Amino acid sequence: MFKLEAKNLDLYYGSKQALKNISMGIKPNTVTAFIGPSGCGKSTLLRCFNRMNDLIDNVRIEGEVLIDGRDIYHSRINLDDHRKKIGMVFQKPNPFPKSIFENVAYGLRINGVKHKKFIVETVERSLRQAALWDEVKDNLNKSALALSGGQQQRLCIARALAVEPSVVLMDEPASALDPISTSKIEELVHALKSKYTIVIVTHNMQQAARISDKTAFFYIGELIEYDDTSKIFTNPSHEKTQNYVTGRFG
Ligand SMILES: Nc1ncnc2c1ncn2[C@@H]1O[C@H](COP(=O)(O)OP(=O)(O)OP(=O)(O)O)[C@@H](O)[C@H]1O
């Protein structure tokens, strides 16, 4: 079964159609890259998977979005429980103005977890998974805002992992980072896929080629091609994909 699936999905912002009849299935424990020129709908589709578009006025959605086989727009789901399954990491690191420890513990606390030992263990596990533990273990009470941009982004990943999601959505998570931090995030994505299903929006073709198993190429709201990453980058079926991955437009 697919972990995430879109079936004949259309999305409108007011009268403007941003997604056109998207159908795709994403298998568990894979990394999928969404690529395509600016404005083609990558972030919009990513946001459909955790119903973040619900927060935007005037959005209309037709078709289905399924997670673990359940339609998240039409079946009766508990939205809070659903969102717990889906971690999200944004382009700009957005730690809270709290300590490193409290940033990672945040999701547990709002879920009502009180068991101190469990919280301490979860914070350590999440920071280790996000490859940040060694850098911060002696300063857990320091403000998260004092970390570097790359460390802040790994902290945001740790924060997302602490509530044990099964899916992690990443919207250009490394685009604001230097090359060393970027390669740490890429290594991390690779390591995390044994436990999570990861979808990553990226403008960086080399990054998509390096870290993803599958790549989806979008163009003006349409899914043009979705296939193994090696095929998309070496022998795509569509001319538009070929032009985009070789840098001829975009
Ligand atoms: N909140 C919104 N209200 C109205 N239109 C929007 C909104 N968000 C996105 N759009 C429009 O929907 C289309 C798809 O936008 P989206 O951000 O999903 O594209 P994208 O491929 O992620 O772009 P980028 O690579 O620049 O981030 C664009 O035409 C955009 O202007």
Question: Is the Cβ atom of 44 under 6 angstroms away from ligand 1?
Answer: yes
User: Of 34, 35, 43, which is best to mutate to test ligand 1, by the most ligand atoms within 8 angstroms of its C-beta?
Assistant: 43
Dist CA 94 CA 81 (whole Å): 22
Q: Which atom of ligand 1 is nearest to the CA of 203?
A: 25
pLDDT of residue 250: 62
**235: domain CATH number?**
3.40.50.300
- Residue 214 phi/psi, 5-degree rounding, is -125, 150
The pLDDT tens digits of the residues spanning 214-240 come to 999 999 999 999 999 999 999 999 999
Question: Is the Cβ atom of 13 under 6 angstroms away from ligand 1?
Answer: yes
Distance 18 CA to ligand 1 centre (A): 7
Chain-centroid distance, C-alpha 182: 15
Question: Is the Cβ atom of 38 under 6 angstroms away from ligand 1?
Answer: yes
Question: Is the Cβ atom of 40 under 6 angstroms away from ligand 1?
Answer: yes
Q: Which residues of the chain have pLDDT under 50?
A: none
Question: Is the Cβ atom of 73 under 6 angstroms away from ligand 1?
Answer: no
Dist CA 216 CA 225 (whole Å): 6
Distance 43 CA to ligand 1 centre (A): 7
pLDDT of residue 154: 94
Question: Is the Cβ atom of 216 under 6 angstroms away from ligand 1?
Answer: no
Distance 115 CA to ligand 1 centre (A): 41
Chain-centroid distance, C-alpha 239: 27
Domain residues for 20?
Answer: 4-246
Instruction: Scan for tokens 């998240």, then name that residue.
Output: 72
Q: What is the ipTM of this complex?
A: 0.97
Question: Is the Cβ atom of 56 under 6 angstroms away from ligand 1?
Answer: yes
pLDDT of residue 125: 96
User: Of 10, 12, 13, which is best to mutate to test ligand 1, by the most ligand atoms within 8 angstroms of its C-beta?
Assistant: 13
- Domains in the chain, number: 1
Question: Is the Cβ atom of 43 under 6 angstroms away from ligand 1?
Answer: yes
Question: Is the Cβ atom of 149 under 6 angstroms away from ligand 1?
Answer: no
pLDDT of residue 54: 84
Give the residue from 217, 131, 141, 214 showing the smallest Cα distance to 180.
Answer: 131
Q: Whose CA is nearest to atom 16 of ligand 1?
A: 41
